[in-house]
């Protein structure tokens, strides 16, 4: 899956409840993802200095905000048990990097991509979506 495909998929996912934090430019994790990916080929919202890859797996594995990863997994349809365990594991971490790593150990990119593809097939009413 490319970054552009991931962005299109995220735009179709349900949004999470908004949280107002004056220190942040986004109010939902969906908005966070869209802002982060929308300008992924350039500096984007975080002033990237390195060339951006076009592979969605690479993007997923670079995220350092566990809330982004957890929202994506949940909204895409990864099992509630897996998401719940990832939330519990992330909550015991001592840094964002550690928390994100714990989420990714339990919810791999393959899990998320599979859930996104199934959701997309269901939305289009295609066979083989079960």
Task: Give 3-state DSSP helix, strand, coil % of the chain, rounded to 5.
Answer: 60, 0, 35
Mean predicted confidence (pLDDT) in 72-92: 98
Q: Does a structural domain hold residue 110?
A: yes
| Structural domains counted in the chain | 1
| Structural domain boundaries enclosing 26 | 3-124
The model's pTM is 0.86
**Distance from C-alpha of 1 to C-alpha of 6, rounded to nearest angstrom:** 7
**Distance from C-alpha of 107 to C-alpha of 102, rounded to nearest angstrom:** 9
Q: Does a structural domain hold residue 129?
A: no
Burial of 30 (C-beta count, 10 Å sphere; 0-12/13-18/19+)? buried
**Distance from C-alpha of 100 to C-alpha of 110, rounded to nearest angstrom:** 16
Q: Does a structural domain hold residue 84?
A: yes
Q: Does a structural domain hold residue 19?
A: yes
pLDDT at res. 129? 46
Mean predicted confidence (pLDDT) in 45-57: 67
Q: Does a structural domain hold residue 56?
A: yes
């Amino acid at each position: 899956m490319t970054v552009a495909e991931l962005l299109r998929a995220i735009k179709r996912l349900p949004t999470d409840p908004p949280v107002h934090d004056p220190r942040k430019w986004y109010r939902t994790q969906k908005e966070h993802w869209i802002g982060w990916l929308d300008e992924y080929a350039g500096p984007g919202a975080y002033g990237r200095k390195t060339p951006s890859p076009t592979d969605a797996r690479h993007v997923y594995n670079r995220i350092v905000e566990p809330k982004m990863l957890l929202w994506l997994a949940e909204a895409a349809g990864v099992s509630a048990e897996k998401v719940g365990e990832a939330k519990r594991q992330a909550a015991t971490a001592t840094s964002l990097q550690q928390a994100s790593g714990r989420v990714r150990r339990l919810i791999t990119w393959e899990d998320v991509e599979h859930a996104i593809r199934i959701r997309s097939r269901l939305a289009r009413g295609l066979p083989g979506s079960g």
